[in-house]
């Protein structure tokens, strides 16, 4: 099976979160055309265009709903500043006046009926609700304090709103019973496609009903003119989605804060991409291109797919600025997650099942010590070079699949 998925590895200063992310990547490497880690590139110089004009972010996003059915923006992926902004946006009294629902990446659509009951204020225990984000194809969500805050916040907001203005939360991840996944073969047999699932939920529950929604997903799920979820449904529902990108690695490692062209922008702010110098830059200025493994010959490539080799103004509509890039904070894992022995055991079992190094043999003390060490720096950063061990593993997995296919009778 071939796929053009591109994964962006979120970095939390926590071993648990990183381990879950790595486990997730190793799971998907066995199923999809892999994208594993990021290399570093220099994008081609672009002719300078007009200045980008920043606007207060919350009011600009709320105003976008006057023109668009959907506003799509990145979720935190380990960045505390972005988490905080999303929560402040949802709490704004004007949000529920313009928006009907929120589709999220961190939810298994198998549990949508239970999620509806919880968000609607019914008696659903939090432990039961945790299945929504702990049993899904992106297990990193299970280590996120933001996710644990998000669902109770929306539930509490709904209790203060009249019925016609209450928000619905839509889970976008494919409906898979992960308790039935015992190994790679079980996963391969499901043949699920995350982009199709995300797009289908949006079409069925929002666009076809002429409702309005906020989308919270990794930026690569949202870009116009690619194989993203947004691009899939835009074939039938064009020009209805306003896509926002955060700034990624742009302006990181500057010698001084005043060196940035964004230094005088208000915090937080939103700037349109079209016709500006920022929108004229290519994706390599914001996300290091992935190390990709070609399923045909298992060769390593370090460039973006052609669909992403465009100016940013062709891929997104606006940029969200949350302050100096080098001063962004990473999300910390709440104690209730780290101390949940049952969840940690389940995570470790899953990591071992899918081949994560040392997952089965690592002691609790070793695990805890790495979590403590991971908290030494509170700053959020994206590694500038790929992990060679993950690259080597992806190549070997690809070679094993090629060998298996060549030895299977037709």
The per-residue pLDDT for 226 is 94
Distances (CA, A) of 384 to 30, 240, 370, 380, 390: 25, 35, 21, 13, 15
- The overall average pLDDT reported for the chain is 84
Looking at per-residue confidence, does 382 or 121 come out higher? 121
Give me the pLDDT at residue 343, please: 87
Mean pLDDT of 188-198: 84
Q: Would you say 167 and 135 are in contact if contact means Cβ atoms under 8 Å apart?
A: no
Q: What is the DSSP letter of 67?
A: T
Q: Which of 23-27, 188-192, 384-388, 389-393 has the lowest mean pLDDT?
A: 23-27
3-state secondary structure of 144: coil
pTM for the complete prediction? 0.84
The C-alpha angle 46, 51, 55, rounded to 5 degrees, equals: 130
- pLDDT tens digits for 54-100? 999 999 999 999 999 999 999 988 999 999 999 999 999 999 999 99
* Structural contact between residues 308 and 6, judged by C-beta atoms closer than 8 angstroms: yes
Contact assessment for residue 283 and residue 250, using Cβ atoms and an 8 Å cutoff:
no
- The pLDDT of residue 4 is above 70: no
User: What confidence tens digit (pLDDT) does each residue in 228-240 have?
Assistant: 999 999 999 999 9
Give the pLDDT confidence of 325-379 residue by residue, as tens digits.
999 999 988 888 888 888 888 877 777 766 665 666 677 788 788 878 888 889 9
In the chain, where are the structural domains located?
Answer: 41-332
CATH topology of domain 41-332: Rossmann fold (3.40.50)
User: Would residue 191 be called left, alpha or beta, if left means φ above 0 and alpha means ψ between -120 and 50 degrees?
Assistant: left
């Amino acid at each position: 099976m071939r796929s053009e998925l591109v994964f962006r590895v979120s970095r939390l200063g926590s071993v648990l979160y990183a381990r879950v992310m790595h486990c997730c990547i190793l799971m998907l490497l066995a199923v999809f055309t892999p994208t594993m880690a990021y290399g570093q590139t220099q994008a081609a110089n672009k002719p300078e265009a007009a200045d980008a004009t920043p606007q207060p972010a919350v009011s600009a996003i709320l105003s976008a709903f006057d023109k668009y059915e959907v506003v799509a923006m990145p979720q935190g992926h380990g960045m505390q500043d972005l988490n905080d902004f999303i929560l402040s946006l949802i709490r704004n009294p004007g949000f529920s006046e313009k928006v009907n629902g929120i589709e999220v990446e961190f939810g298994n659509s198998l549990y949508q009926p239970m999620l509806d009951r919880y968000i609607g204020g019914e008696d659903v225990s939090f432990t039961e609700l945790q299945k929504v984000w702990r049993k899904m194809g992106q297990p990193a969500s299970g280590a996120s304090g933001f996710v644990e805050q998000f669902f109770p916040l929306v539930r509490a907001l709904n209790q203060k709103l009249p019925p016609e203005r209450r928000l619905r939360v839509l889970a976008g991840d494919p409906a898979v019973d992960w308790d039935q996944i015992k190994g790679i073969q079980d996963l391969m047999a499901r043949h699920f496609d995350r982009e199709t699932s995300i797009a289908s939920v949006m079409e069925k529950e929002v666009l076809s009903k002429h409702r309005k929604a906020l989308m919270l997903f990794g930026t690569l799920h949202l870009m116009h003119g690619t194989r993203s979820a947004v691009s899939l449904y835009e074939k039938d529902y064009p020009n209805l989605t306003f896509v926002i990108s955060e700034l990624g690695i742009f302006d990181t490692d500057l010698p001084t804060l005043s060196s940035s062209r964004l230094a005088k922008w208000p915090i937080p702010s939103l700037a349109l991409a079209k016709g500006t110098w920022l929108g004229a830059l290519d994706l390599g200025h914001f996300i290091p291109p992935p190390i990709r493994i070609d399923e045909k010959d298992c060769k390593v490539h370090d460039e973006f797919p052609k669909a992403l080799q465009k100016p940013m103004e062709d891929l997104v509509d606006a940029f969200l600025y949350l302050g100096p890039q080098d001063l962004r904070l990473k999300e910390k894992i709440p104690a209730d997650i780290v101390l949940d022995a049952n969840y940690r055991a389940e995570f470790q079992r899953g990591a071992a099942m899918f081949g994560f190094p040392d997952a089965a043999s690592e002691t609790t003390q070793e695990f805890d010590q790495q979590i403590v060490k991971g908290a030494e720096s509170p700053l959020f950063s994206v590694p500038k070079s790929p992990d060679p061990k993950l690259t080597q593993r992806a190549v070997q997995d690809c070679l094993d699949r090629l060998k298996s296919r060549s030895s299977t009778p037709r």
